[in-house]
Amino acid sequence: MHIAMLVHDRFTALDVVGPYEILSRLPDVRLDFVAERPGPVRTDTGFLALTADKSLDQVRSPDVVVVCGGPGTFEQLENAAVLDWLCAVDATSTWTTSVCSGSLLLGAAGLLRGRRATCHWAALDLLKEYGAEPTEERVVTDGRYVTAAGVSSGIDMGLTLVGRIAGDDHAQAVQLLTEYDPQPPYDAGSPHKAPAHLVEEFRTGSRFTLA
């Protein structure tokens, strides 16, 4: 089982490290961080760099592709090298997946036309531009395409995939290993649950911005 995790400048770290932590516990797995230019790739905050060990050319037929999002994703939506790579690896992948605004990249590569998909809640409607059907679920499976909502949802997607690939027993073992028994101290993790003024602050970009 070979997994490729695509990163780009100003990606969001947890988008990719969440599913990495889960998927890297599959049996007989090999996992590569991939970028257009291998080497250190900086996250959106600038405080952290992850190493992409492989260039696009070096990873041609992974079984699973994971595309992360982040503010820098928007700059990649017309990057032919990245879009061509996504189309090429998708031709032979078992699962093509994304977290957060990474689904916009799958969309821009033409892979989500007519499919149900999700994205970070604040960018969900943008999926329509690529012919996808925005879907308000945390993890959306449509055929061999699995998209997850914002940032932390990649952990839930990872466990869903491990269950599909290696069975429920192994997925539960990984959940136990990572002690994934979430107990958030607040209940504000979706626009339907957060105080309305915080959702509005997002819409106006007054506290955080997505791009």
Q: Catalytic residue positions?
A: 100
Residues 94-153 that bind its own copies (CB under 8 A): 100, 120-121, 138-139, 149-153
* Sequence-separated (6 or more) residues with CB below 8 Å from residue 131: 107, 112, 113, 114
- Interface with its own copies by CB under 8 A: which range of 15-23, 73-81, 105-113, 126-134? 15-23
State the binding string over 57-96 for its own copies (x if CB under 8 A, else -): ----------------------------------------
C-alpha 157/C-alpha 16 separation (Å) is 11
**Would you count residue 12 as binding its own copies (CB under 8 A)?**
yes
**Would you count residue 25 as binding its own copies (CB under 8 A)?**
yes
Q: Which amino acid is at 158?
A: G
* Sequence-separated (6 or more) residues with CB below 8 Å from residue 65: 3, 4, 6, 86, 89, 90, 93, 95, 96, 97
Q: How far is the CB of 208 from its own copies (least distance, A)?
A: 5
Kindly write down the DSSP assignment for every residue of 53-98, as one continuous string. -EEGGG----SEEEE--STTHHHHTT-HHHHHHHHHHHTT-SEEEE
Q: How far is the CB of 20 from its own copies (least distance, A)?
A: 6
C-alpha 153/C-alpha 19 separation (Å) is 9
Residue of 91, 179, 196, 204 that binds its own copies (CB under 8 A):
179
Nearer to its own copies, 50 or 127 (CB): 50
Q: How many CB atoms lie within 10 A of CB 35?
A: 22
Q: How far is the CB of 73 from its own copies (least distance, A)?
A: 15
Nearer to its own copies, 83 or 105 (CB): 105
Nearer to its own copies, 46 or 114 (CB): 46
**Would you count residue 208 as binding its own copies (CB under 8 A)?**
yes
| Alpha helices (H) in the chain, listed in sequence order | 13-23, 73-76, 80-90, 102-108, 153-166, 168-177, 196-204
* Sequence-separated (6 or more) residues with CB below 8 Å from residue 114: 131, 132, 133
Q: Which residues bind its own copies (CB under 8 A)?
A: 12-14, 17-18, 20-21, 24-25, 30-33, 40, 45, 47-51, 53, 100, 120-121, 138-139, 149-153, 155-156, 159-160, 163, 168-169, 171-173, 175-186, 188-191, 193-195, 198-199, 201-202, 207-208
